Structure 1
Amino acid sequence: MTSLAPVPRAFYDRDTVAVAHDLLGAFLVHDVAGEVRVGKIVEVEAYLGESDLAAHSSKGLTPRTRILFGPPGFAYVYLIYGIYCCMNVVTEREGSACAVLLRALEPVQNLAGRTQGPGLLCRAMGIDLRQNGHDLESPDFFISPRDQSAPRQVVARPRVGVDYSGIWATKPLRFYLDGNPYISIK
């Protein structure tokens, strides 16, 4: 692995599905009290703004969702079940309220515990509500580009746990690296 540096904001300021595809194989980096944790992103889900009934932004602009409506390239971290944090990266232009949920990582450096599933991913990476709204161009918490020369095959499937969202539950907006042993569910 070469030196890790943040992708530029323009990386996130694009179509959400394209960003989701390009995140696969990229590296999530978090400096936790001097210990640099690194994981390769192997599974994600795209959320397409206010019309997407599975997206938090479908309820409109609220104190919880304001990060989603902001500029691209920021972390949207929220709590589920009162115990697990989940991390999204905000995509597209300001006001679009689109994001990509990080679902699973392949451990690369200083990761202990399971990384399959968004809550376990955050726990292993030391991500909590303090990272909500964090600029992903910062030197301590960022995404570094994937190795463009590495071959990969991307699989598209419906998202997990969004049965309540009608037709949006069946859309193939979950993407993962085919054959990777760290994906959360096939």
Structure 2
Amino acid sequence: MGRGELSFDWGGAGLSPAPLPRSFFDRPSPEVAPDLLGRVLAHGSVAVRLTEVEAYGGPGEDPAAHTYRGRTPRNAVMFGPPGHLYVYFTYGMHFCANLVCLPEGSGSAVLLRAGEVVAGLPEARLRRSPGASQGEAGSDGGVRPAGRRVADRDLARGPARLAVALGLVREHNGLDTILEGSPAGRPHDSLTVLEGRPADPALIRSGPRTGVSTAKETPWRFWIDGDPTVSPYRAHVPRRRSAAATSVGEAPRS
């Protein structure tokens, strides 16, 4: 097995390693979002089981979405085929990841808000937690000063933290997550969404999206009730930011 490939006992963990088909994402984002709960996003040696997501609609439909005013060079990936990864940079410090929904040209996506690291814990900890003699790996590839170790439940608890744990940065914007074959056969640095273990429908909750300044009451945030990796709800608080510091969901914070 080559460097960066995923080695994990899927059966022992009760997770299915079968990749999701493109048709899974070729639906409205409010339908895809709750169905993503319990699915696994695998990138390199790290895999995260999703526990919290948010849906965002298309042009002219959802004022909180990047695509509300139409296509731009920045949001172009959201208008591409379903199943592609849309990564944006926010507040000059964080990357956040989304999965594109609906047919090409639609401009809709689901924000990946939080999850449980189920494979590659050492790598995820290295990225998120400082070691005794090494600082924390930053989302920009740099190293932050050493400090307190991050608890495992917090490794991917929030959209920016999830992106760091998975090693997702600007260069991954536009990646196609629909790949054939098993996780063991995935190319290095590929990103795949696997069947995992779908959440029990009785445990799925929905409510207002967190941190948005418009369409505040749209109940398109979905999470697994009682899961410790779900991020806390935060209402929008106005803050000074640059014009580039906007996001799907007004720069949700981890």
Q: What TM-score, normalized to structure 1?
A: 0.91
Q: Which moved more, 1:99-108 or 1:13-22?
A: 13-22
Is 1:48 aligned with 2:57?
Answer: yes
Q: 2 CA distance for matches of 1:25 and 1:76? A: 20
Q: Kindly indicate which of the two structures has a greater share of residues assigned to strand.
A: 1
SS at match of 2:196: coil
How far residue 82 of structure 1 moved from its aligned partner, in angstroms, is 1.2
Q: 2 CA distance for matches of 1:122 and 1:13? A: 23
Partner of 1:80: 90
Deviations 1:76-124 (A, max 9, x none): 0010011110000000111111100000011111232321110011001
| RMSD, aligned α-carbons | 1.4
Unpaired stretches in structure 1, ≥5 consecutive residues: none
Q: 1 CA distance for matches of 2:84 and 2:108? A: 11
Is 1:102 aligned with 2:152?
Answer: no
Partner of 2:232: 185
Q: 1 CA distance for matches of 2:92 and 2:32? A: 29
Give the counterpart of 1:19 among 25, 32, 52.
32
AA aligned to 1:185 is P
Unpaired stretches in structure 2, ≥5 consecutive residues: 1-9, 129-154, 180-185, 234-254
Is 1:141 aligned with 2:209?
Answer: no
How far residue 59 of structure 1 moved from its aligned partner, in angstroms, is 2.4
Partner of 1:118: 159
Partner of 1:154: 204
Q: 2 CA distance for matches of 1:80 and 1:161? A: 13
Q: What TM-score, normalized to structure 2?
A: 0.67
Q: 2 CA distance for matches of 1:13 and 1:77? A: 19
Q: Is the 8 A contact 2:204 2:223 kept in 1?
A: yes
How far residue 66 of structure 1 moved from its aligned partner, in angstroms, is 0.6
Q: Is the 8 A contact 1:24 1:146 kept in 2?
A: no
SS at match of 2:117: strand
Displaced runs of 4 or more, over 4 A: none
Q: Is the 8 A contact 1:75 1:131 kept in 2?
A: yes
Partner of 2:142: none
Partner of 1:176: 223
How far residue 55 of structure 1 moved from its aligned partner, in angstroms, is 0.2
SS at match of 2:31: helix
AA aligned to 1:103 is R
Q: Is the 8 A contact 1:158 1:169 kept in 2?
A: yes
Q: 2 CA distance for matches of 1:180 and 1:119? A: 18
How far residue 147 of structure 1 moved from its aligned partner, in angstroms, is 2.4
User: Rg larger in 1 or in 2?
Assistant: 2
